[in-house]
Structure 1
Amino acid sequence: MDVVDIQSLHRVPVAEVSSPAFELAPPRVLNPSTIPPHILDAMRPGWFTGAFPAGSVRLTKLFDVYVTMEGLVFTQDKKLVQQSITQHTPEECAQGLAQILQAEQAQTVQVVTPSSLLLRKRGEQNYGHWMVELLPKLWLAEEHLPLCSLVVPHLSGNFARVLRDSVALSTSFVALYHEMGVQDVAFFKELVVVDGLTNHGVYMSPLVFSRTDDMVARVPGAQARRLYLTRKNRARTIRNEDALITFLQEQGFLCLDPAELTLLEQIKLFKNAECIVGVMGAAMTNIMFCSKGTRVINLAPGNMPDTFFYFIAGLRGLDYYEIRGKLCAETESWDSPFEIERDHLAHVLSLGPQGNAV
């Protein structure tokens, strides 16, 4: 399979936006010894780069391209556009090409003529990926060109409502949505691609929060000051969570699962919070709505190679900690149950604004 750089294609450069430099200190982590060396190495570019130089975010209009899988873009002659690869495996890239060829043979390729903005990527079914890595592309594009259609993942239930509410709350765009599933293939006469905004796990531009404060300002805050976010009945749960919940409730925490809350309800809850404790996962994306200085304590298995929430917290000026726990079974999956000791949580809750880094 041929992979081509977007700069080598017939295209119209729409805009190049400067992304400011920034600095982030390494996270404060309790139990770093639970992190396997290869997992720490995977997180090292995010955690230990320190000074991130200024960069560029580019908006480019392409012509006559295919989109399939989770946002993979192929040229008319079936070459894969490098900038559309976002954590896709080589096997997924090959599958994308195969789907295009099959759809052509079956004559099921949908042709889209309105100028469209690509808002898809690997992991697009995740709330955090949408709010931090995809929606901000619309914010940038809206400032530089007229748009007719948004190419978005096909979603259902509450997340589908959250997607549309987030567009309505943060933009003036009256959207025509082109929803796509992972197996779908569409051919776009004009497709706008945004690259350089994020590189998942390695880099996150401050521009991803360019309209976050405006969104928060439009929603009244709740009175709750301390929140615990559970993942009960889903993957990556805490084995002794009931005991931790009892302890946290004694400390004045409201325990909840934001999965079925509307976007406005989530913003309302997090806006005035002073301390957030939660199991590492999509719901913790809501820390982006917290005020500067809010304490965030992220609970995670030692082998989970994630820097996403560290970047959010750092760029939003939050007081961020991680407590890493031991897995309850011999496994390499970070979606397995793990343990968090109550004393460790109590210790981090009692700390002042300064702590020890990894």
Structure 2
Amino acid sequence: MTPAGLAPGEALFGDGESPAMTGSPLGPGRMRDIASVVLNDCSFVVSSMSLLDRHRRVFVPAIENLPDPAELARFDPQYHLDAGGGLILDNDFIRRAERIDAIAAPVCGGGFNDYRHFLCDGLPGILLHRQVFPDIDLTIVGPALAPWQEDILAALNLLDRYRPVSGPVVFAKVLTTTMLALHAAYPTGFVRPIFDVLRFRFGGSGCRPTRKVFLSRAGTDTHCPLRNRAEVEARLAAIGFDIIRPASLTLREQVRLMGEARVVVGESGPAMAGLGFCQPGTLVLEIQPDACVDGATRAMCCLFAHRWHLYLARVTPEDASFAIDCDRLSAAVATVALSPEGNEAS
């Protein structure tokens, strides 16, 4: 099954089968209009990054990563289900909630802890609101930040506006957008300001990009783990790839590294968001397990003018893992690494 626009042996490789979600040139094909939203007397439930308006109605775009809003009751103790299966906010939340007279903007939706979602979901809306409404005293809210999240907000000059929340809160107003939870999975051009500002902030060498980079997911939890990772990384290192674990780099190092990359190979996942820091025309080979659907990288490559290629790997149903034939992968990389002019990318 060949995704639309990809030619076997030229842009499509591997032994897996294409999930239907990769069939569109823009990945899942869910690019959509974005709305700016104001919620008055808004309850902010930080444990799930969910929002409710003054009538206790859940703002679905904040939790759109859940198939059904009722699933909040499964993992967020602030919610439970009534006798009819309807979602109810716990009365104790309403009783204990601190009322804050501020205009708040959630830093993210349900993907708060994910690098790609943190960059692509809430932050584009915040940055745009700051530009369109510079006189509004906007308070950015969310849980306590991890160091990497602090680095991102500091680089965007937003950290001094951040207010960590730990308990029940009702804000006078919440100013947010409909791209609060799944914008990273179905990105639009609204992600560009975040990556453009960070690239401009940290700059680069100014030289023609030449590096070949493999973005390793070693040491991270994945739904479909790569069984022969050590063999794959050794083979790629032998043909000139730098094996990079993005989580070990500072934000400045990530931005500059990706700006120097001519060829990027990596598994589907959060680290591929770093393609937003690459120079246009970067050659990309995404390794996608055929049981772990993800169209985000393809959409990102479209938005940032990269040349996207796909290596589909067949997942073993028994343990949801996959292995890669290194000879087949090397042949795919050799094809991808040819520039449009036919000269190998060194």
TM-score range for the pair, normalised by the shorter chain length: 0.7 to 0.9
Determine the C-alpha separation between the residues in 2 that align with 1:269 and 1:109. 44
* 1:189 Cα deviation after fit: 1.1
Higher mean displacement: 280-289 or 43-52? 43-52
- 2:213 is equivalent to residue 213 of structure 1: no
- 2:35 is equivalent to residue 58 of structure 1: yes
Determine the C-alpha separation between the residues in 2 that align with 1:267 and 1:303. 30
Determine the C-alpha separation between the residues in 1 that align with 2:332 and 2:219. 26
Question: 2:171 — aligned with what?
Answer: 188
Question: 1:342 — aligned with what?
Answer: 326
Higher mean displacement: 307-316 or 110-119? 110-119
**TM-score of the pair, normalised by structure 2:** 0.79
Matches within 5 A, 1:180-329: 180=165, 184-196=167-179, 199-200=182-183, 203-221=186-204, 225-236=211-222, 237-329=225-317
* 1:163 Cα deviation after fit: 2.0
**Partner of residue 154 from structure 2, selected from 163, 168, 172:** 168
Determine the C-alpha separation between the residues in 2 that align with 1:81 and 1:50. 23
**Partner of residue 71 from structure 2, selected from 83, 92, 96:** 92
What one-letter code is carried by the residue in structure 2 that aligns with 1:208?
A: V
Contact 2:16–2:289 (Cα < 8 Å) also in 1:
no
* 1:219 Cα deviation after fit: 1.9
Question: 1:136 — aligned with what?
Answer: 124
* 1:82 Cα deviation after fit: 3.6
**TM-score of the pair, normalised by structure 1:** 0.76
Residues 193-213 of structure 1, C-alpha deviations (whole Å, 9 max, x = no match): 212588547732212102423
Residues 5-54 of structure 1, C-alpha deviations (whole Å, 9 max, x = no match): xxxxxxxxxxxxxxxxxxx975643247434xxxx2345567567796xx
Determine the C-alpha separation between the residues in 2 that align with 1:142 and 1:200. 19
Determine the C-alpha separation between the residues in 1 that align with 2:185 and 2:228. 32
* 1:245 Cα deviation after fit: 1.6
Determine the C-alpha separation between the residues in 1 that align with 2:170 and 2:176. 14
Question: 1:74 — aligned with what?
Answer: 52
Determine the C-alpha separation between the residues in 1 that align with 2:28 and 2:289. 23
* 1:288 Cα deviation after fit: 0.9
CA RMSD of aligned residues (A): 3.0
Distance change (3 Å), C-alpha of 1:325 and 1:32: closer
What one-letter code is carried by the residue in structure 2 that aligns with 1:127?
A: Y
Contact 1:71–1:121 (Cα < 8 Å) also in 2:
yes
- 2:142 is equivalent to residue 152 of structure 1: yes
Determine the C-alpha separation between the residues in 2 that align with 1:97 and 1:110. 18
Contact 1:117–1:151 (Cα < 8 Å) also in 2:
yes
Contact 1:151–1:179 (Cα < 8 Å) also in 2:
yes
Contact 1:103–1:185 (Cα < 8 Å) also in 2:
no
Determine the C-alpha separation between the residues in 1 that align with 2:185 and 2:253. 30
**Partner of residue 121 from structure 1, selected from 89, 98, 109:** 109
* 1:120 Cα deviation after fit: 2.2
Determine the C-alpha separation between the residues in 2 that align with 1:71 and 1:43. 29
Aligned with 2:226: secondary structure? coil
What one-letter code is carried by the residue in structure 2 that aligns with 1:203?
A: Y
* 1:322 Cα deviation after fit: 2.0
* 1:104 Cα deviation after fit: 3.1
Q: Give ranges in structure 2 of 5+ residues lacking alignment.
A: 81-87, 341-346
What one-letter code is carried by the residue in structure 1 that aligns with 2:295?
A: T
* 1:241 Cα deviation after fit: 1.8
